[in-house]
Structure 1
Amino acid sequence: MKKFFIRGVFVILLLIASYTAFGKANKRAEGRPNIVLIMVDDMGYSDIGCYGGEIETPNLDRLAANGIRYSEFYNTSKCNTSRESLLMGRYVNRVSEHKNFSSGPTLGELAQQAGYRTLWAGKNHNSIRPPERGFDRFFGIQGGLSNFFCPARKTADGRPVPYTGTSVNEWMVHDEWVELFVPTDPEFYVTDAITDNALLWLKEYSGEDKPFFLYLAYTAPHAPLQAREQDIKKYEGRYDVGYQEIRKQRYKRAVKDGVFNPETAPFHPQKITQWDSLSPEEKELEADRMEVYAAMIDRVDQNVGRVLSELEVRGELDNTLILFMSDNGANGSRGDEYKDYYTPTGNEQLGGMFSWEFLGKNWAMVANSPLGYYKKTSHEGGVCSPMIAYWPEGIPLKNGWVHEPAHLVDIMSTLLDLTDLRYPSEFNGEPAKPNEGISLLPSFRGEPLAVRKHKIGNDYKFGKMIRDGKWKLVQYKELGWELYDMEKDRTETRDLAEQMPEKVAAMKQAFSMWEQNCKAGL
């Protein structure tokens, strides 16, 4: 009798423990989702497999196949302004850059208010300090770029590395700010380190009964072109066929996969240098550059896979909203300014710690194909990037597409909608500038997005633009304004400005109003 009693008590305790564990898991499953926001740096529209690219990105392709993709997701055509726009939910132009942070809450502050553990690993490139603006933990760089193998301007053994630009080189490492981050690990690589820290945090907070908001801001594939040797080897010889052939292959795959309809998105006639006009030495160098660039994106995908694996092991992947995007299109710069600050040793291997190469205009236009132009312009190749949304419990669509225009400012509106938060009318005792986006949640359900109160616009460096429904008005440098019907001409090949001067005038007025709205309250 005593034996049966003890066994019965054991069974009851086991049931209680099982019920408690199930209850916690079920509470997490039925509650608000975890959020993983992934932003890469200077990646082209067609670089990843699910947008037509030949670069091996099985993990991102998996997210797309089991979620939705956006064909017209806009940014600000530049790293720092895009990141500010994302964090603050407002449009940013060349005169409002860095000046909006005092007039409203960040994504992190709102996520904290909603009960999330907030984590940020990677690039900042703005004036705020993440731990002071809503993020519980931060690992990464305050500035815009660094050497991928050694973020400081010297190595652990004292050897100098190439000039790293004029941006701030300060890092936060192990919760402390350091002016020069010199890793002692000979296997250090920034992309991996960003994920390493994120995974450590996820393990540290795994026992919490609250969801997490993780912002992974990878610096790849931003210059300098530096990648692990084993990743570069995967792409040896792949780009020997040259710019034109790779671009044609990408377009063919994109059309086959439904990314573009050739009737409404014809191949943009980019002015790319003819591959056969290059010398053998030039061809080899150009192909090598693209191999390293591809390897950098490949490594990002591998790290996305590491995050997915961790979430699967924890049983939390199905109730995690994952958003993947780029801050702008591929970069057309060559970046030779480092030569004024660094004396080559003659032993530099392209892609290694001691090389400092940029992608350049030709490959950038291939990376953004079939869209036109590149970073810092307001044509589609500069201001439009891939965006993937994955959330098994919240997005019933599989391998779906959203063809309505969306923007970085919409991420904050989506967070507000997801958590039933209200955007505050005041911030730090002052009137808050309004959130200017719309929620993307309807598109998760296959429904149309709401009508925008604030038009999508852009003004940075070489380009200006305003988007109003199907119409887009755009300007390159100081040339004339161009008008496109984006429903019939997604790739901006047929300028209608001369045929529709009244429409141009109306949209120029709308652009002026957009500019004024960006300046308001500064």
Structure 2
Amino acid sequence: MMSLCFRAILLAVLLLFSSLSVVSAKPPNIVLILADDLGFTDTQPYGSEIQTPNISRLADEGVMFTNYHTAATCSPSRAMLMTGVDSHRAGVPDIPVSILPEMADKENYQGVLSDKVVTVATLLRDAGYHTYLTGKWHLGYSLEGQLPDQLPSKRGFERTIALMESGGDNWEQKPYVIAYPDATWYEDGKPTVLPEDFYSSKYLIDKAIEFIEFNREDNKPFFSYISFQAVHFPVQAPREYTEKYMGRYDMGWQELRKQRLQSVKKMGIVPGDTRMVETPAALDWNSLSAEQQRYQSKKMAVYAGMVDAMDYHIGRLMAYLKETGQYDNTVFIFTSDNGTQITDIFDRGALLALYLRLWLRNNGYNLDYETLGERGSYINMGISFGSSAASPFAFHKFYAGEGGMRVPMIISGPPVQQKGVRSNAFTFVTDITPTILDMAGVAHPGTSYQGRKVEPMIGKSLVPLVEGRQERVYAEDDTVGFELGGNLALFRGDYKLVKNRGPIGDNQWHLFNIVTDPGETEDLREKMPELFTEMKTAYDEYTEKNGVLELPDDYTMFKATTANALRKTLKKITLVAAIAVLLILPLVVLNIRSRLRHRGDIEYLTRVTVMEKVIDKTLRPFLVITGLITMAPVMMTLAPETGAMEVFQLKLVSEYTLTIQHWGLMIFLVGLLTVVSAFKTSLIFPVMLYSALQKSGLVILTVLNAQHHYVEGFLLPAGFDMICVIYALFYFHILRRKRKRDNVRMKK
């Protein structure tokens, strides 16, 4: 009897340890690879034409997830990825620039990682792991700017090379949008300067290998978090990668979107009867000229080259680990922070485009066809080819549609027993931290860490699914809620309740079966009212539990970013305005006092004042300088530049397109007329009147309508415009005095 009991116990123990195929005798090394803005069908395992042999190898050596979801934008996604906690409870419900100022003082809306969450890096480091971060962090900014205590070196990472902003140039250390005046990199908690031969994907892998190699001999496991800039704009790639895809996209974006749909159908990633919606606002490829098509085709070739280059450098890391004998005990997790980015930052109106063009030039960027993707080049994909990366899904980054939330995810490596397996089980970004901790044999502290209260994880470990012991980790009735800028979703089983705001969404609730209808084309709300009601109730419970605040009905991300940009702008304009007031106020006071003191004094009224003498002496030089300053910046817009029209896409009416060159010509002529008026007295008054009205409008536009990406670029022109307006007011005041003096003389 004793012998039978002993054998049974021994057998149970053996079965238990044989089932834990992901966790080896020594805790595994873990490499977490995060792409940026990578679309669902941008890699070969997910139906892409882009060559990604190393990512394909990862898929062949592990489990590929086809129903994995993340947040629809970067910061919330990264917060959940690092903690296993809902983005609101982690303190990062949205990117900081989209959080309304009146909400920013709420605990769940700080825009940076809360002290109430513990990162996976912290827990792994406590357990004896080396922890490394190479790449974009984007969890250390609030509405007020960068917070030094939120560097990754303060959140559990032993060695770091981290980009703090939301992005940066891939060839040089310089900003990529006006909103961020710098590209701030930190190495091990201290500011650093990038090398001359920097290319983001190469450099991040170089540093990852350097960190791993430095500690290799101590035989401790490592956690390496590699956060690529690829394929966030500006889209840039070495020429040799771009050339591989030249001509591949000459058929246009509509055809590519269809080809990728057919590819994922053929591979069985989506059902064979999957349909997809048309992408709103995408131009018809056939409406473009041959030259425009050529330019757009090369842009997509650069995008493909950037994905290809990222894959190549992932392969370098894999090769290094094999050469050093570490590969066999390494687990890889590959995914993206959110869906494809198809917002066109250039499509903000001609005036803003002019300012952006000037900013690009001043920062060494160009839009030249010949060097697209190379050092100094600037590419933003826009909605057209960008929509192909989201195929076959609806919506994109920032929205709760599948195109914004469903992304690739692969768990792979020799410790993963299942090979070449595809799972369509629903999984969520909060599952990554529990999975990593489970693989490492590390327990989460629950609700208390080092004497302080912390948030428990809400995600589930995917280890049972990866091992093949379970087909899904979420039960049919389990729910997962999501909110981002008023775009809402709740997942339950195969179903998704979703509501997207404008300008693309209709702000109405819809119910979809995202397993049979991943394109979200058939709304089941009327067919399944009971399920709809249950899921709506569950969503309401999610918002209450996680402190989700209700946004105004007219809220959009773009309005919010504008509002926050205005706060930042107004602070900077305050100094300029204060100086202007200090200059004007004494003159106004003196003028009023003089008028009161000399009321009815004919001699005073007929006297030429100092101000009048100053205006008379400076008027012509002022007109010449103002005209030249007006002409100089727009000279660049008059030079024919291949592809400028399709990049800016400033369509005003169906038959005609107002290009950046047209705007440049008009402003150039205004500047020329201003110079001429200095020598043509009859033109002075209309030119000054036009200048005062136009520049007053520009100052008001700066304050009221500056878009987030361009707000910094308005400050210098607005200051110049304000000076011009003040000068014009003095000019009109002098004209008024002259008329009064002439009237007095006539009466005498």
Asked if TM exceeds 0.5, the reply is yes
Match of 2:728 in 1: none
Moved more, 465-474 or 339-348: 339-348
CA deviation string 1:78-115 (max 9, x = no partner)? 01111111111112134745354310210100111222
| Equivalent position to 2:537, from 494, 501, 509 | 509
Tell me if 1:370 matches 2:384.
no
Cα distance in 1 for partners of 2:125, 2:448 equals 17
CA deviation string 1:187-238 (max 9, x = no partner)? 3211111111111111111101211100000011000111111111111111
Cα distance in 2 for partners of 1:69, 1:120 equals 24
CA deviation string 1:143-162 (max 9, x = no partner)? 11101111225xxxxxxxx6
Tell me if 1:313 matches 2:343.
no
One-letter code of the match for 1:172?
Y
Cα distance in 1 for partners of 2:519, 2:151 equals 38
| Equivalent position to 1:431, from 453, 466, 490 | 453
One-letter code of the match for 2:42?
D
Tell me if 1:474 matches 2:498.
yes
Cα distance in 2 for partners of 1:283, 1:347 equals 15
Match of 2:634 in 1: none
Change (3 A) 1:357 1:520: closer
Of structures 1 and 2, the one with the larger relative CO (CA 8 A, separation 6+) is: 1
Cα distance in 1 for partners of 2:204, 2:461 equals 29
Moved more, 93-102 or 49-58: 93-102
One-letter code of the match for 2:435?
T
Tell me if 1:121 matches 2:134.
yes
Tell me if 1:500 matches 2:551.
no
Match of 2:604 in 1: none
Match of 1:339 in 2: 357
Residues 40 and 220 in structure 1, CA contact (< 8 A), matched pair in contact too: yes
Cα distance in 2 for partners of 1:279, 1:91 equals 47
CA deviation string 1:299-343 (max 9, x = no partner)? 110011001001111222122110000001110111226436333
Residues 147 and 164 in structure 1, CA contact (< 8 A), matched pair in contact too: no
Displacement of 1:442 in angstroms is 0.8
TM value normalised by structure 1:
0.87
Match of 1:407 in 2: 428
Displacement of 1:505 in angstroms is 2.8
One-letter code of the match for 1:41?
D
Q: 1:135 is paired with a residue of what secondary structure? A: coil
One-letter code of the match for 2:360?
Y
> Share of identical aligned residues, percent?
30
Residues 29 and 319 in structure 1, CA contact (< 8 A), matched pair in contact too: yes
Moved more, 492-501 or 268-277: 268-277
More strand by share: 1
Cα distance in 2 for partners of 1:432, 1:163 equals 36
Cα distance in 1 for partners of 2:154, 2:72 equals 27
Change (3 A) 1:31 1:164: farther
Tell me if 1:52 matches 2:47.
yes
Residues 62 and 412 in structure 2, CA contact (< 8 A), matched pair in contact too: yes
Displacement of 1:426 in angstroms is 1.1
Residues 367 and 378 in structure 2, CA contact (< 8 A), matched pair in contact too: no
Residues 104 and 426 in structure 1, CA contact (< 8 A), matched pair in contact too: no
Tell me if 1:417 matches 2:431.
no
Displacement of 1:248 in angstroms is 2.1
Cα distance in 2 for partners of 1:130, 1:442 equals 30
Cα distance in 1 for partners of 2:271, 2:55 equals 22
Q: 2:115 is paired with a residue of what secondary structure? A: helix
Displacement of 1:490 in angstroms is 2.2
Residues 29 and 316 in structure 1, CA contact (< 8 A), matched pair in contact too: no
CA deviation string 1:168-204 (max 9, x = no partner)? 632113x3522xx65342x321111111111111111
Moved more, 384-393 or 281-290: 281-290
CA deviation string 1:49-89 (max 9, x = no partner)? 11000111000001111211001111111011111111111
Cα distance in 2 for partners of 1:251, 1:163 equals 33
Match of 1:188 in 2: 198
Match of 2:231 in 1: 221
**Which segments of 5 or more consecutive residues in structure 1 lack a partner in the other structure?**
1-27, 154-161
Q: 1:409 is paired with a residue of what secondary structure? A: helix
Cα distance in 1 for partners of 2:119, 2:195 equals 34
| Equivalent position to 2:275, from 261, 266, 270 | 266
One-letter code of the match for 2:443?
R
| Equivalent position to 1:396, from 396, 417, 433 | 417
One-letter code of the match for 1:423?
H
Residues 144 and 167 in structure 1, CA contact (< 8 A), matched pair in contact too: no
Tell me if 1:143 matches 2:138.
no
Cα distance in 1 for partners of 2:548, 2:39 equals 32
More helix by share: 2
Q: How does 1:150-299 map to 2 (within 5 A)?
A: 150-153=172-175, 163=177, 165-166=179-180, 169-173=183-187, 175=188, 177-178=190-191, 182-185=193-196, 187-263=197-273, 265-271=274-280, 272-299=282-309
Tell me if 1:130 matches 2:152.
yes
| Equivalent position to 1:450, from 470, 473, 487 | 473
Larger Rg: 1 or 2? 2
| Equivalent position to 2:314, from 276, 285, 304 | 304
